[in-house]
Amino acid sequence: MHTHTFNSMGLKPRLLQTIATKGFEKPTPIQILSIPSALAGRDVMGQAQTGTGKTAAFGIPMLNNMVPGGGLQGLVVCPTRELAVQVAGEINSLGRGMNLKAMAVYGGQSMELQIRALSRKPEMIVGTPGRLMDHMERGNINLAQLSFVVLDEADEMLDMGFLPDIEKILEQCPKERQTFLFSATLDEDIQILGRKFMVDPELIVVESPELTVPLTEQYYYEVSPRHKIETICRIIDVDRPSVSLIFCRTKKGVDQLAGALNHRGYAADALHGDMSQRERDSVMERFRKGHISILVATDLAARGLDIDMVTHVFNFDIPEDPDSYVHRIGRTGRAGRDGVAITMVEPRQIKQLRVIEHHIGKKICRRSLPSLKDAMASRQRLLTTRLMEASHGDLSIYQSIAGELIQQNDPHTMLAAALKLLADGEPALELAEVEIINADTAHVELPVGKMQGMHPRRLVEFLTANTSLTPRQVGDIEIQSNTTYVEVPVTKIDEVYEAFKKYESKRKNNRSRLGLPKTDRNKRAN
């Protein structure tokens, strides 16, 4: 029977101390099944996705059996630069205090810089296939004394066309070695690779519920394409995620969404394949340090991202295949924390959603779109919480200032001003919101709909009566229960805002019908 604690696995005391320092209270399912077999000298073929703890599943037994100063003993092959950097970082973190070093080698970084690092004789190398081959051909890396080889995210490497390179690398490794292969799927190609280069591997499959991240709540919103940006902003305002990862299908889509979020005041940045390695490293560094809270990325750029702090994953574009969905949402709900996965589904994409549900064996719940009032209420709760938290600190410096301000000014005005300062830096919430369509027109969202008596003719009458818009300048109109979207020239947006601010004021005074105060309606009726 497999043990279920790290202390029962026979690990070295220094390694156990580091594991405890990192806060690993108990091993994950893939670690429970993999580590004892690896420590016993078995080859291991494991089915596990990113976020299940697979790096520690192979890293811990390798570190436990390596000899400091014994030269290159371990090789980890990864599909992407980002994953190579993260795996090397995690292994160095686990091996802290054991005098064992892992270094990452990948394309996009100076070859000379890597050669200098290799001269310091690390015990482990983590690299991408192409750059590993470059170093091997130049004689910079010799695999003759390896004791361990790991193929991490093997399915991704095969999908990216790396099979020939992987075979060449494995052919250069000594036959007397341990080999670990980890993959999100174990299809026929993966198993053929395993049979060719592994010796009687122990097959480890995490049950399917683990593959769909049990701690992750999964929802979807049905939304038209032109309203997706407004919707995701509204969800962020209502749910208040700490750290978000948003997936888009294309690089252009990533840039557009990241730009739109920044324009609205959110701390967001983009990550995709057209960026230089230095740009990508800079973005990831800011993301890890919390300087940005929203990362917008393509699937390819996000492959291998292993960040435990992500609370929300958004599928701004629904993934094209179910496995991509599993990979995406596997980046939240980690390390025993709850996570949320939200998918934006266009009406024509419902069938795609059903395919994903069938694949993961779980129904994804539909949520109603949050209203502007929901977002404003959430913002108010946040400000109240911040104010109450601040009130528990030492306020002696500020109390005398507060006393003087209250004596000289209206207390309500001063409190409102303090709340305004407290909210500084938050994305602005307006009466209506806008999505730029092109250089000339925009969709403006208005907080009235069918429930308030809205219909297209009434809206056109209101706009032409209260702004300088002509009927021909009013474009597409979409009316929902409590919300209306209308296309207007960009130059007229401010006029529309002002007209509806006045309307809101009148509506609060029981003049409820759009553009027609009660007295005017009575005159018309006569």
pLDDT tens digits, 158-182: 988 899 999 999 999 999 999 999 9
CATH 3.40.50.300 fits 6-210, yes or no: yes
Residue type, 220: Y
* Burial readout 244-261 (b: 16 or more C-beta within 10 A, e: otherwise): bbbbbbebebbbebbebb
Q: Using one digit for the tens of pLDDT, what is the confidence trace for 341-368?
A: 999 998 888 888 988 887 788 889 998 8
Q: Which of 334, 284, 344 is nearest to 310 (CA)?
A: 334
Query: In degrees rounded to 5, what are phi and psi of residue 479?
Result: -110, 125
188-202, 305-319, 387-401, 444-458: segment of lowest average pLDDT:
387-401
Q: Is the pLDDT of residue 151 over 90?
A: yes
Q: Is the pLDDT of residue 380 over 50?
A: yes
- CATH superfamily for domain 213-372: P-loop containing nucleotide triphosphate hydrolases (3.40.50.300)
Question: What are the boundaries of each domain within the chain?
Answer: 6-210, 213-372, 433-525
Q: What is the pLDDT of residue 474?
A: 87
Tell me the average pLDDT across 293-310.
Answer: 78
The model's pLDDT over 319-345, given as tens digits with 9 standing for 90+, comes to 887 878 888 887 776 655 678 999 999
Residue 492 DSSP one-character state? G
Q: Does position 518 have pLDDT exceeding 60, yes or no?
A: no
The pLDDT > 90 percentage for the chain reads 35
User: Are 6-210 and 213-372 equal in CATH topology?
Assistant: yes
For the cut 80, the answer to whether the pLDDT of residue 19 exceeds it is yes
Q: pLDDT (tens digit, 9 = 90+) per residue, 60-112? A: 999 999 999 999 999 999 998 888 988 999 999 898 889 999 999 998 888 99
The candidate with the shortest Cα–Cα distance to 83, out of 37, 35, 51, 115, is: 51
pTM (2 d.p.): 0.51
420 Cβ contact partners less than 8 Å away, ≥ 6 residues apart: none
Helical segments of 348-395, H only: 350-360, 372-391
pLDDT at 440: 62
